[in-house]
Amino acid sequence: MQHKITSFEQYTETYKRSIEQPEQFWMEIADSFEWRQTWDKVLDWNFKEPNVKWFLNGKLNITENCIDRHLESNGDKAAIIWESNDANEPNRTLTYNELHAEVCRFSNVLQNNGIEKGDRVCLYMPMIPELAIAVLACARVGAIHSVVFAGFSSQSLSDRINDSECKVLVTADGLYRGNKTVGLKEICDEALQSAPSIHKVIVYKRTGQDINMQLGRDVWWHSEMTKAAKEFEAVEMDSEDPLFILYTSGSTGKPKGVVHSCAGYMVYTYYTFLNVFQYEADDVFWCTADIGWITGHSYIVYGPLLNGATTVMFEGIPTYPDAGRFGATSDKLQVTKFYTAPTAIRSLMASGLDFVTPYKLDSLKVIGSVGEPINEEAWFWYHDHIGKEKCPVVDTWWQTETGGILISPIAFVTPTKPTFATLPLPGVQPVLVDAQGVELKENNVEGLLCMKFPWPGIIRTTYGDHERCRQAYFGTFDNLYFTGDGCRRDEDGYYRIIGRVDDVMNVSGHRLGTAEVENAINEHPFVIESAVVGYPHEIKGQGIYAFVIVDKQSIENGLVDTDPMQAEGAGVDNSLHLLNIAAFENEVRNIVSKIISPIAKPDKIQIVSGLPKTRSGKIMRRILRKIAERDVSNLGDITTLLDPGVVDEIKKGAGL
């Protein structure tokens, strides 16, 4: 823990050094790891192609740093504590020794099923220790893991499998989420009808439900594991070999596969976990994210294990069996550091203090927030009622593409300020620019957040399409990584993230592209065109508002299943049959669920006869956003629109 910053003076000094001598700075941190062979150059980079390489020609395996190196001194320490969806089911604990044995066994299983270095393995699993084991086993054999959040639909799953041509799929029969059971294997079976690259499916038995096992293709986790040895010599990887792919939404097209590489990601998640959360050896660290998202990759699995920490994995949801689940679990496991999302905080807030006051929460020392801007009310509620006014709130700003936290308070070190992610971590060089890319150097400004220098955890490419990576992140402004976020820097130089400035929505902390949702909506046979925007939502942060042009005649003819119970509150277009509209909206939501995920369902659907477009045919989302926000005081100049009249009609339709 010699790299731990423990005072603000030390932060200032370390930050300065990290900017003046970045290579020296990161090299000293990298030195503390186990390498098969050390690097011969620390950094090679340009943002033009882009080409970023850290610790060139270094050889290592990240799992030796996550597991093996802790065995001698800490083999019996808990690596993972698992909390079931069912609050009455006993916890499962895996010590570092046990984790080592399981990871080695599953590495053998992967190898026995044809997986070699560089192959892609898709993981579509519940939040059970086997997911972490599978992630680490992929890394140990040198395969590239692509975890797909188990809330995604079969189509999203097959799209992701196909994009990176995964050879093996690891899944479970089903999963528990609150009082629901989801048939994961069934979803996989559907996905596999159009995912020809998969030749083996390894199935963990979690729910025991009836499933179909295809002979020759599908094998059981438990029977493969009993056949496998509990030693596996980790495969030597180059620093820049890909470690994983994680799909995330952008402003255009289908989700892209963000690629992270072995050494830089390792150094960066280790360092940020250690510092932001001020890791101590007896910590019980609980990040409530799902490993299907980057937060789970970096701060449930890699960051904590690289530090030799005890990390909690939670299978369930914050409101099951009731909204007291976080408090109850935190007390039971004596959690010391807790990391969650604003949307979860707001949903607890809405449930009321009756679900908080029964719990002591006195083991907590640091509480963190991630994934979306945290509003002031939620910040104070979190600070006062969960942190009991004694825990620093670390509002951590980062992205799938950044690999780890970039801007955040360091607990106990950086004075916090509600709603501010505060200051850049060492090695991070943020700049704010205007729309032309001109740097705004002074304080008290608002601009577009960019980074002017690489940190070890930066995205390396988007899988199979490097040009897309260049365009999306490095093509907007010369020599800058553009985050897509708007940001304010105040008089103290503190950063406050405002939110996305591109066509990306953030719904309950889940990133969704407007184009992705529109494409799904357009699959409904009555839909001619649609435009989707985010709007402020009390719990979810952003809700989804869809403006849809439909073939009215089809709806009027009642070609949809009508359900009288759905009629209430149906659309506002009186020229259409209300019952039919309600049924239509239902169908649209179902289609989106099926194509993407239930998380992408539009909250509001408004049928319109046209969309505000420029003469070149571009949809003016700015106007739709204003209408969705119900703030039409300043719509800007609309005279240049193809059909300015449509704006009034949409306003009227929205009841404005």
Which residues contribute to the site for ligand PRX (CB under 6 A)? Answer: 248, 294-295, 370-373, 395-400, 421, 483-485, 497, 499-500, 506, 511
Structural contact between residues 5 and 275, judged by C-beta atoms closer than 8 angstroms: yes
Closest CB to ligand PRX among residues 377, 649: 377
CA angle centred on 438, ends 436 and 441, rounded to 5°: 150
Beta carbon of residue 402, minimum distance to ligand PRX (angstroms, whole number): 8
CB atoms < 10 A from the CB of 188, how many? 27
Q: SS3 for 562-583, per residue? A: CCHHHCCCCCCCCCCCHHHHHH
Residue 200 CB, shortest distance to ligand PRX, in Å, is 30
Q: How far is the CB of 295 from ligand PRX (least distance, A)?
A: 5
Q: How far is the CB of 289 from ligand PRX (least distance, A)?
A: 8
The residues pairing with 393 across neighbouring beta strands, listed in sequence order, are 367
Q: Return d(Cα 498, Cα 496) in angstroms, integer.
A: 6
Provide the minimum distance between the beta carbon of 404 and ligand PRX in the complex, in angstroms, as a whole number.
9
Min CB(653)–ligand PRX separation in Å:
30
Query: Which residue number has the CB closest to ligand PRX?
Result: 400
Which CB sits closer to ligand PRX, 203 or 274?
274
**Which CB atom, from 134 or from 497, has the smaller least distance to ligand PRX?**
497
In eight-state DSSP terms, residue 615 is T
Determine the Cα–Cα distance for residues 494 and 417; give it in Å rounded to an integer: 9
Q: Which is nearer to ligand PRX, 287 or 548 (CB)?
A: 287
* Nearest distance, CB of residue 198 and ligand PRX, angstroms: 26
Q: Are 121 and 110 in contact (CB under 8 A)?
A: yes
**Nearest-CA neighbor of 297 among 346, 246, 351, 227?**
246
Compute the least distance from the CB of residue 246 to ligand PRX, in Å.
9
| Alpha carbons 605 and 448: distance in angstroms, whole number | 30
Buried (b) or exposed (e) across 263-275, using 16+ Cβ within 10 A?
bbbbbbbbbbbbb
How would you write 227-276 as a 3-class SS string? HCCCCCCCCCEECCCEEEEEEECCCCCCCEEEEEEHHHHHHHHHHHHHHH
Cα–Cα distance between 155 and 157 in angstroms, integer? 5
Q: In which residue are the tokens 């106990």 written?
A: 412
Q: Which residue, 171 or 298, is less far from ligand PRX as judged by CB?
A: 298
> Which CB atom, from 168 or from 345, has the smaller least distance to ligand PRX?
345
| 115 versus 394: smaller Cβ distance to ligand PRX | 394
Of the pair 156, 400, the CB lying nearest ligand PRX is at: 400
* Residue 38 Cβ vs ligand PRX, minimum distance, rounded to whole Å: 30
| Smallest separation (angstroms) from ligand PRX to the CB of 496 | 8
Residue 398 or 474 with smaller CB distance to ligand PRX? 398
Opening angle at CA 520, ends 399 and 181, nearest 5:
75
Q: What are phi and psi of 361, to 5 degrees?
A: 55, 25
Residue 475 or residue 499: which is nearer to ligand PRX going by CB? 499
Give the amino acid at 225. Answer: M
